[in-house]
């Protein structure tokens, strides 16, 4: 495949050749809904760690979709590359980050019930919404995202498009939450709903990308020495906020689930 395709922004390629988006989707590479799409095709395919035969076939099909009349040679397979491990084995620090996602996803799961509740209430329950904002800012952002930004992402090329997409997601999430706070202060239910649901959609995709693609990709690049260092740095970051903080936020989620999971099951 020529470098012109490999080194072109993926969104530009998909916009021009929608079939490429459909092919990527078939291989579980979800670039079509990505809000940024500035990664290069070569980066996008490389990060998914497909086995050599699958990757060669994928690139062949993409090239054929772009240049249907071109005589393209059969895919060449690099047999020296190790095949993909099906089960993801995270290093310990990264595994802890994946486990933190679980608590965040428990809040995301309740957001539709929370926005329904806000809509049907006479007045905006400010304590409820600001409690969610506090969880998102204190746990999801400060406790969790900061470990990514200050520690984990330093182990790869931070200027790379893939990491830049993650930074952009974090920033978009912060903007949604600013809008939620503004809506809460002014009693604007539509604004709260729009931005809480927007945050939910963003973080759902963001967490999926990290758990399934980004974290395994970073782990594959780490030496054992770096795995040890990363673990100690993340442990030190956790220790600096104390054990009470994650416990407090877990209790907040449990209490919220008591209220909203009951509402759902009624």
Partner 1 sequence: MSDCCPGSRTMDFSEKTDQGDTETGQRQSQLRQWPIQLHLVSPQAPYFQEKDILLVADCVPFALADFHKDYLKGKSIAIGCPKLDSDQEVYVEKIKSLIDDSKINTLTVQIMQVPCCSGLVQVAKAGADKATRKIPIKQVVVGLEGDILSEEWI
The footprint of partner 1 (CB under 8 A) covers 89-93, 95, 224-225, 227-229, 231-232, 235
Residue 232 Cβ vs partner 1, minimum distance, rounded to whole Å: 8
| Closest to partner 1 by CB, 30 or 228 | 228
Residue 217 and residue 47 in contact, taking contact as beta carbons nearer than 8 Å: yes
Question: Which H or E element spans position 251?
Answer: helix 244-265
| Closest to partner 1 by CB, 225 or 240 | 225
| Closest to partner 1 by CB, 95 or 106 | 95
Residue with tokens 């903007």: 175
Residue 161 Cβ vs partner 1, minimum distance, rounded to whole Å: 28
Residue 104 Cβ vs partner 1, minimum distance, rounded to whole Å: 23
Residue 238 Cβ vs partner 1, minimum distance, rounded to whole Å: 11
Residue 140 and residue 7 in contact, taking contact as beta carbons nearer than 8 Å: no
User: How far is it, in rounded angstroms, from Cα 29 to Cα 25?
Assistant: 5
User: How far is it, in rounded angstroms, from Cα 212 to Cα 72?
Assistant: 32
CA nearest neighbour of 189 among 135, 134, 122? 122
Residue with tokens 């209490």: 255
Residue 152 Cβ vs partner 1, minimum distance, rounded to whole Å: 14
| Closest to partner 1 by CB, 4 or 225 | 225
- State the distance between the two ends of the chain, measured CA to CA, in whole angstroms: 57
| Closest to partner 1 by CB, 205 or 226 | 226
CA nearest neighbour of 145 among 203, 79, 231, 78? 203
């Amino acid at each position: 495949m020529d470098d012109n395709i490999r080194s072109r922004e993926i969104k530009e390629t998909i916009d021009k050749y929608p079939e490429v988006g459909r092919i990527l989707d078939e291989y579980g590479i979800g670039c079509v809904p990505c809000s940024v799409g500035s990664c290069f095709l070569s980066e996008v395919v490389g990060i998914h760690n497909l086995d050599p035969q699958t990757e060669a076939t994928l690139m062949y099909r993409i090239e054929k979709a772009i240049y249907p009349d071109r005589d393209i040679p059969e895919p060449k397979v690099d047999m020296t590359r190790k095949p993909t491990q099906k089960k993801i084995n995270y290093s310990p620090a990264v595994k802890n980050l994946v486990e933190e996602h679980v608590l965040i996803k428990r809040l995301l799961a309740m957001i539709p019930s929370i926005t329904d509740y806000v809509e049907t209430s006479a007045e905006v329950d400010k304590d409820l919404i600001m409690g969610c904002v506090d969880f998102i800012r204190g746990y999801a952002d400060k406790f969790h995202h900061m470990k990514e930004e200050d520690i984990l992402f330093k182990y790869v090329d931070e200027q790379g498009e893939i990491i830049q997409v993650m930074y952009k997601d974090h920033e978009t999430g912060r903007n949604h939450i600013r809008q939620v706070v503004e809506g809460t202060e002014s009693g604007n239910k539509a604004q709260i709903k729009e931005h809480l649901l927007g945050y939910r959609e963003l973080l759902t995709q963001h967490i999926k990308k990290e758990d399934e693609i980004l974290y395994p990709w970073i782990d594959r690049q780490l030496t054992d020495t770096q795995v040890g260092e990363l673990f100690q740095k993340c442990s030190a970051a956790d220790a600096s906020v104390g054990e009470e903080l994650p416990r407090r936020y877990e209790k907040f989620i449990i209490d919220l689930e008591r209220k909203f999971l009951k509402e759902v099951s009624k």
